[in-house]
Amino acid sequence: MITIINPILRGFNPDPSILRVGDDYYIATSTFEWFPGVQIHHSRDLVHWRLLTHALTRPSQLNMEGNIDSGGVWAPCLSYHDGVFYLIYTDVKSRIGAFKDTHNYLVTATDILGPWSEPIYLNSSGFDPSLFHDDDGRKWLVNMLWDHRKGRNRFAGIVLQEYSAEEAKLVGPVRHIFKGTDLKLTEGPHLYKRDGYYYLMTAEGGTEYNHAVTMARSRRIDGPYEVDPRNPVLTSAGRPDLPLQKAGHGSLVETQTGEWYMVHLCGRPVRDKLCNMGRETAIQRCYWTEEKWLRIDGGGHEPLVVVQAPQLAPHPFPPSPARDDFNRDTLGVDWSTLRVPADEAWLSLRERPGFLRLKGRESLISRHRQSLVARRQQAFNCTAETCVEFEPEQYQQMAGLILYYDTKDYIYLRITRDEEAGKCLGIIRSVGGRYDEPMDCDLPIEGVTRCGLRAVIEREFVQFWCSLDGSDWSPVGDKMDVAHLSDESPDYIRFTGTFIGLCVQDLSGARKHADFDYFEYTEQA
- What is the C-alpha to C-alpha distance for residues 13 and 402, in angstroms, rounded to an integer? 20
Count of H-run helices and E-run strands, the chain: 0, 40
Catalytic, 458? Answer no
Q: Which residues contact 125 (CB under 8 A, 6 or more apart)?
A: 102, 143, 145, 146, 159, 174
User: Is there a contact between 128 and 188 (Cβ–Cβ < 8 Å)?
Assistant: yes
Taking Cα atoms as reference points, which of 241, 195, 201 lies closest to residue 219?
195
Widest CA span in the chain: 77
Taking Cα atoms as reference points, which of 225, 131, 140 lies closest to residue 178?
225
- What is the C-alpha to C-alpha distance for residues 131 and 189, in angstroms, rounded to an integer? 10
Pairing status of strand 155-164 against strand 234-235: unpaired
Q: Give the C-alpha distances (Å, rounded to integers) separating 481 from 438, 458, 460.
A: 12, 10, 6
Burial (CB < 10 A; 0-12, 13-18, 19+), residue 302, is middle
Burial (CB < 10 A; 0-12, 13-18, 19+), residue 123, is middle
Pairing status of strand 169-178 against strand 155-164: antiparallel
- What is the C-alpha to C-alpha distance for residues 422 and 448, in angstroms, rounded to an integer? 11
Catalytic, 302? Answer no
Q: Which of 33, 45, 128, 187 is catalytic?
A: 187
Cβ neighbours of 417 (radius 10 Å): 19
The string of DSSP codes covering 298-355 is: TS-SSPPSEEEPPSS-----PPPPSEE---SSS--TT-EEESS---TTTEESSSSTTS
First vs last C-alpha separation in the chain: 24
Q: List active site positions.
A: 15, 187
